[in-house]
Amino acid sequence: MNKIRFGPAGNSESFYEQGHQSSVEMPKWLHDMGLDAYEYSVTRGIRLKESTAGEIGEQAAKWGIAMSLHAPYYINLASREEEGRKKTVRYLYRSMEAADWFGAKRVVFHPGSAGKGDREQAMEAAKKLLLRVLEQCSEFIAKGIHLCPETMGKKNQLGSLEETLDLCQLDESLIPTLDFGHLHARSQGGIRTAKDYENILDSIPGALGDRRGRAFHVHFSRIEYTAAGEKRHRTYQETEYGPDFEPLAGLLLQKNLEPVIICESRKTMAEDAVRLQKILQEKFSLFNEARL
Ligand SMILES: [Zn+2]
pLDDT in tens, 13-30: 999 999 999 999 999 999
pLDDT of residue 288: 80
Question: Shortest CA distance to 149 belongs to which of 87, 101, 216, 82?
Answer: 216
Q: How far is the CA of 292 from the centre of ligand 1 (A)?
A: 41
Q: How far is the CA of 122 from the centre of ligand 1 (A)?
A: 20
Classify 190 as helix, strand or coil.
coil
Q: How far is the CA of 108 from the centre of ligand 1 (A)?
A: 7
Q: How far is the CA of 290 from the centre of ligand 1 (A)?
A: 37
List, as ranges, residues with CB under 5 A of the ion ligand 1.
150
Question: Shortest CA distance to 175 belongs to which of 139, 150, 202?
Answer: 150
66 DSSP β-pair partners: 37
CATH code assigned at 224: 3.20.20.150
Q: How far is the CA of 154 from the centre of ligand 1 (A)?
A: 12
In this prediction, residue 292 has a pLDDT band, given cuts at 50, 70 and 90, of low
pLDDT in tens, 174-187: 999 999 999 999 99
260 DSSP β-pair partners: 5, 217
**How many beta carbons lie within 10 A of that of residue 56, not counting itself?**
25
Q: How far is the CA of 109 from the centre of ligand 1 (A)?
A: 6
Please, what sign has the CA dihedral across residues 108, 241, 261, 252? negative
Q: How far is the CA of 285 from the centre of ligand 1 (A)?
A: 32
Residue 154 reports pLDDT greater than 80: yes
Q: Is there a contact between 65 and 27 (Cβ–Cβ < 8 Å)?
A: yes
Q: How far is the CA of 150 from the centre of ligand 1 (A)?
A: 6
Q: How far is the CA of 159 from the centre of ligand 1 (A)?
A: 11
State the residue range of the domain holding 55: 5-291
Contacts of 202 (CB under 8 A, 6+ apart): none
pLDDT in tens, 193-250: 999 999 999 999 999 999 999 999 999 999 999 998 999 999 998 998 989 999 999 9
Q: How far is the CA of 155 from the centre of ligand 1 (A)?
A: 15
Q: How far is the CA of 133 from the centre of ligand 1 (A)?
A: 19
Give the chain's count of helices (H) and strands (E). Answer: 12, 12
Q: How far is the CA of 110 from the centre of ligand 1 (A)?
A: 6
State how many domains the chain has. 1
Q: How far is the CA of 208 from the centre of ligand 1 (A)?
A: 21
